[in-house]
Structure 1
């Protein structure tokens, strides 16, 4: 893994970014993590930072085709592929966070020219890792059901691609030493560790001679990983976990049980879930926020379900109070625009979108003078349905709210 400077060091215009973030959060019911009225009243607020975290990044062939089309328009990218325009809509949120966490689900190719493969054993263009970096991500979890699609070689190629792009990672490893080294980032002077685990690997088994290749979920393994991170100096530990049933917006019994065991038996400060490809609720268990499923960050399933185009970026505000960390949770509904397939005459419905694009729903509705009536209706549905799902385990009572409200 590359050890990178803190986000404060990397961003020279810290004051400007702070001002922009303050403006972004203005009007929200809960105050920001620092300089808020609550902090003044409490008188004991210490260090603070923000975290943005999103769901699955899974590059299907249609997205690669879109990146090729966009490269012709932008004149940028590598080997004729530019993924930046596809994901640009979420950059204003991701780039404002002090720490941004992605989930990289597939295997990356060793070459920007391929070969590439889709379901069931993914090999995707490594150019997507550059886009992940460009929109502001700092670190990615890599333990997923697809981690072992192409064995140890696939793991190595994926981590090499992330390294080359300058994105830290955890969850899979190229050596025993790498697997044992905690992924710790310096975030505004706070040492934040990211852990990553997955429940299974699509029928593949972890090689007996390489048990460190990818992290398989168990409460014992999670506890041990947290202990290593704490021993290495971590002030905060965030768990990324690949779990649940695909395309099910309700967390299953295994998720609910494990979430409670994590909250009660570990000191993990935040749990970020993915794998379902649809949004699942958030819930606060004791002092621990659990995002059961953040849906897709970017994907293009063969048969889009309506729910699979909807996702959410979790926004978490950490503030140190009296030696403990207070976490406030917010959310940013997202949507993936997918062009319709043409009919037998090559025509598409009037007003249809022309390109695959990841959309910040509230921002698009607020700023999108050029939106069609169809887009406005679809984005509003995505926001309202995402909100309803996120709140259906009572998270609203614990302060969960949108980062920016529906216009």
Structure 2
């Protein structure tokens, strides 16, 4: 009888222990932040998250662009971008280079060489999925301080993130970090080689971030403490040159050596190849030396071909990796009648007909070869 009682007790103990073990596992699974993420066991490896990022090139809004957008009530850029909006909305974060300051109509719209764009551009970018704009470029100071403050006030009003140009020292010191629902955070930094000879107002360096290695090193270091991934945007290079110059390569390597995971370049107005660089600590940095023009009124073929860069970020415990770059070449299609642009749209180059661009398929093939010359595994979005 005693042996039977002992057996029953052992069986009950095992049942209770099994239930408690199951509850403990479920509790860890639910409260994933409590897990020791440095562990390599199977339970921790269940928590793997991934997001996608998209980046587009220059928004260079000439008068012929905003004139074509005027519909009698507002400046409509939405219809121009709608053909590619699915590629901008789908990623978790989409960034754009706002080449022309968005100072609004109240100070007078203007075109090259000193640009000023309407506020509707910000509304329509947000509508198609853009989450953050970079503002440090050679045209930032085109219309002075007022245009910068107007643009930032409007971005604040609509909830659009911005970086590279700021309204105060305090604003400049705040690194832009975008958090995602799955717990992956991304920091965005932006710098330009210059401002077309327009001096930065004394004591107001915050109005535009110039390329200064001490500042870049300080801000990348801070960004890496605040975010999982740091993206550095440079406005650099030579206009209309399809290959990066040595200065671009040196600055991209500088960012890689600091540990930045991604470098996005602007200014040449044409596409330059994608590359991977190895930082001094063995880290890999994705580099797009120039994303070309996304939306502009420029006429030349290569200045009308831009694109959407996409890549993924995976976070597996404490390991974060940028991977799987892909690209959608785009084409600014318009009709030109007596030097007037009409019916402007940004189209996927893969969908452009020979009537819109003679020999379109061969142009697409050449662009693919050009972009992937350093990265054979670069995928193209179909």
After TM superposition, is the score higher than 0.5?
Answer: yes
Matches within 5 A, 1:172-183: 172-183=165-176
Q: Does 1:395 align with 2:375?
A: yes
Assess if the C-alpha contact under 8 Å between 1:310 and 1:382 holds in 2.
no
Q: Partner residue of 1:340?
A: 336
Q: Partner residue of 2:93?
A: 99
Q: Partner residue of 1:166?
A: 159
Q: Does 1:274 align with 2:269?
A: no
Give the Cα–Cα distance (whole angstroms) in 2 for the partners of residues 118 and 164 of structure 1. 25
DSSP-derived class of the 2:302 partner = coil
Give the Cα–Cα distance (whole angstroms) in 2 for the partners of residues 223 and 44 of structure 1. 35
Superimposed CA distance per residue, residues 175-231 of structure 1 (whole angstroms, 9 cap, x where no aligned partner): 000000011111232121111111111001222311221111123221111122234
Give the Cα–Cα distance (whole angstroms) in 2 for the partners of residues 166 and 134 of structure 1. 12
Matches within 5 A, 1:348-367: 355-362=343-350, 364=351
DSSP-derived class of the 1:355 partner = strand
Match of 2:103 among 102, 109, 123: 109
Match of 2:305 among 310, 325, 333: 310
Q: Partner residue of 2:276?
A: 284
Give the Cα–Cα distance (whole angstroms) in 2 for the partners of residues 64 and 389 of structure 1. 31
Match of 2:65 among 60, 63, 66: 63
DSSP-derived class of the 2:207 partner = coil
Give the Cα–Cα distance (whole angstroms) in 2 for the partners of residues 354 and 62 of structure 1. 8
DSSP-derived class of the 1:97 partner = coil
Match of 1:222 among 202, 216, 226: 216
Assess if the C-alpha contact under 8 Å between 2:178 and 2:185 holds in 1.
yes
Matches within 5 A, 1:47-196: 47-68=49-70, 71-72=71-72, 79-111=73-105, 115-188=108-181, 189-196=183-190
Give the Cα–Cα distance (whole angstroms) in 1 for the partners of residues 311 and 198 of structure 2. 34
Assess if the C-alpha contact under 8 Å between 2:308 and 2:330 holds in 1.
yes
Give the Cα–Cα distance (whole angstroms) in 1 for the partners of residues 310 and 210 of structure 2. 26
Taking structure 1 as the reference length, the TM-score comes to 0.77
Q: 1 or 2, which has the higher strand percentage?
A: 2
1:379/1:85 Cα in 2 relative to 1: closer, same or farther (>3 Å)? farther
Assess if the C-alpha contact under 8 Å between 1:281 and 1:391 holds in 2.
yes
Q: Does 1:298 align with 2:300?
A: no
Residue 296 of structure 1: CA displacement?
Answer: 0.5
Q: Alignment length, in residue pairs?
A: 332
Q: Partner residue of 1:75?
A: none
DSSP-derived class of the 1:298 partner = strand
Residue 114 of structure 1: CA displacement?
Answer: 5.5
Match of 1:383 among 350, 357, 364: 364
Q: Partner residue of 1:7?
A: none
Give the Cα–Cα distance (whole angstroms) in 2 for the partners of residues 80 and 329 of structure 1. 36
DSSP-derived class of the 2:122 partner = helix
Superimposed CA distance per residue, residues 123-174 of structure 1 (whole angstroms, 9 cap, x where no aligned partner): 1111111111011000010000001112222211121222233210000001
Identify which range, 316-325 or 57-66, moves more after superposition: 316-325
Q: Partner residue of 1:256?
A: 249
Superimposed CA distance per residue, residues 250-302 of structure 1 (whole angstroms, 9 cap, x where no aligned partner): 101100111122212x111111111111001110012111000000110002x
Taking structure 2 as the reference length, the TM-score comes to 0.82
Residue 384 of structure 1: CA displacement?
Answer: 2.0
Give the Cα–Cα distance (whole angstroms) in 2 for the partners of residues 54 and 337 of structure 1. 17
Structure 2 alignment gaps of length 5 or more:
1-41, 279-283
Assess if the C-alpha contact under 8 Å between 1:339 and 1:356 holds in 2.
yes
DSSP-derived class of the 1:308 partner = helix
DSSP-derived class of the 1:52 partner = strand
Assess if the C-alpha contact under 8 Å between 1:45 and 1:319 holds in 2.
no
Assess if the C-alpha contact under 8 Å between 1:114 and 1:125 holds in 2.
no
Structure 1 alignment gaps of length 5 or more:
1-39, 73-78, 347-352, 366-370
Assess if the C-alpha contact under 8 Å between 1:171 and 1:197 holds in 2.
yes
Give the Cα–Cα distance (whole angstroms) in 1 for the partners of residues 297 and 314 of structure 2. 37
Identify which range, 175-184 or 159-168, moves more after superposition: 159-168
DSSP-derived class of the 2:215 partner = helix
Give the Cα–Cα distance (whole angstroms) in 2 for the partners of residues 52 and 87 of structure 1. 15
> What value does the CA root-mean-square deviation take over the aligned residues?
2.1
Q: Partner residue of 1:13?
A: none
